[in-house]
Amino acid sequence: MFSSILNFIKRHRKKLIFTGTVIGGIYFLGKFAQRKLQEIQEREAAEYIAQTRRQFHFESNQRTCNMTVLSMLPPLREAILAQLNSESLTALLKAKPANKLEIWEDLKIISFTRTIVAVYSTCMLVVLLRVQLNIIGGYLYLDNSVGKSVTTPLAPPDVQQQYLSSIQHLLGDGLTELTSLVKRAVQSALGSFSLKQSLSLLDVEQQLSWIRAEVESSAQRPLPWYMLAADEDALADQARGLTENDLMTIRLLNETRDMLDSPDFSTVLNACLNRGFSHLLDNLAEFFRPPPGDSAPSSAPDSLSAVSLPLAKIIPIVNGQINTICSETPSHFVQDLLMNDQVKEFAANVYETFSAPQELQK
């Protein structure tokens, strides 16, 4: 019996060796594939956890952005009112002064100027804080990432405070320059209009469009100039004894300027301005409704010009709009800016850029 088995093995030795090799290869290949599959599954699970963690951090960061914007609206409103104080003019008018017409003319310019400045500065505040807080948010995510190889924080608390304090430029010198620019455009557009001249909502819309064109003209400074102070590069060359935190802050500010100069930022800011001025016209439209019993439907194509009001009646309406525009209580105006899809998409892109590990190599 054993001899028969030996003879069988001798006769089929090559086949048996080949079969054994194949079976062994399949076995080890299976083990290898199983190990690789397990590694892939573990890597995918880790990536999913990291992505979920980053998404949760991003969404939390956006809520912080919204709350920060709302908290900054009262100081923005106060800064605008301090520069464009129409209340003192209305108080003078109540005293029936001899120069009543002159005061009305000043009130006309100031009322339109401060409302238009409120629209611009609120839109700027929304998009600027979206950029700044998502840059910070991205770096904070990296600082707290598991397995981070760099021990030095990318955004220490002192740097965050110093960096975010740059928003004061928009509430200070930037707002002053923007106010002067808008005031010149308003004076040019409305300076010759008589207080008795009747204007329809369409007329007001056309004047606002003309003023916007003047303000945003290529001959003027670009809008980001009013949001962030002048380049800090000269500071790095001239100053002595800059701390590591100072250098980090300068880096963050330069990265912010790069974002503000990007075509995507211009597109998003323009979208916000379009929505902002559209909401302003919607608010004004409430005062241009046809009187009760008027047969003309408010939805008619010419409804924008169906009702006209004397400019003297339009001025107080425009003057009061700042309380809706710069309201810390979420109004349709502010809510629409915060929830704008283009703003949210741009914020996600900024966060994605600065929360990516590649940034650590820069």
d(CA 83, CA 81): 5
Pairing of strands 308-310, 198-200: antiparallel
- pLDDT band of residue 180 (cuts 50, 70, 90) is very high
166: pLDDT strictly greater than 90: yes
Q: What is the pLDDT of residues 295-313, one digit of tens each?
A: 555 444 456 667 899 999 9
What is the rounded CA–CA span in Å between residue 324 and residue 349? 30
Mean pLDDT of 161-176: 94
pLDDT class of 2 with cuts at 50, 70, 90: low
CB 332 within 8 A of CB 247: no
| pTM confidence score | 0.82
Tens-place pLDDT, residues 64-91: 889 999 999 999 999 999 999 998 988 8
Element (H, E) at 308: strand 308-310
The tens digit of pLDDT for each residue in 18-30 reads 566 666 666 666 6
The stretch 193-221 carries a mean pLDDT of: 90
User: Above 60 in pLDDT, residue 232?
Assistant: no
Cα(309)–Cα(323) distance, integer angstroms: 22
Amino acid at 212: R
Domain boundaries, the chain: 71-361
pLDDT at residue 242, as a whole number: 80
Q: Is 165 exposed, middle or buried (0-12, 13-18, 19+ CB in 10 A)?
A: exposed
Helices of type H across the chain? 2-11, 13-83, 87-94, 100-143, 157-164, 168-171, 173-190, 201-215, 233-238, 244-260, 263-285, 311-319, 322-325, 332-338, 341-355
Dump pLDDT digits (tens) for 53-66. Answer: 666 677 888 898 89
Nearest to 322 by CA among 111, 92, 169: 111
For tokens 């028969």, the residue is 4
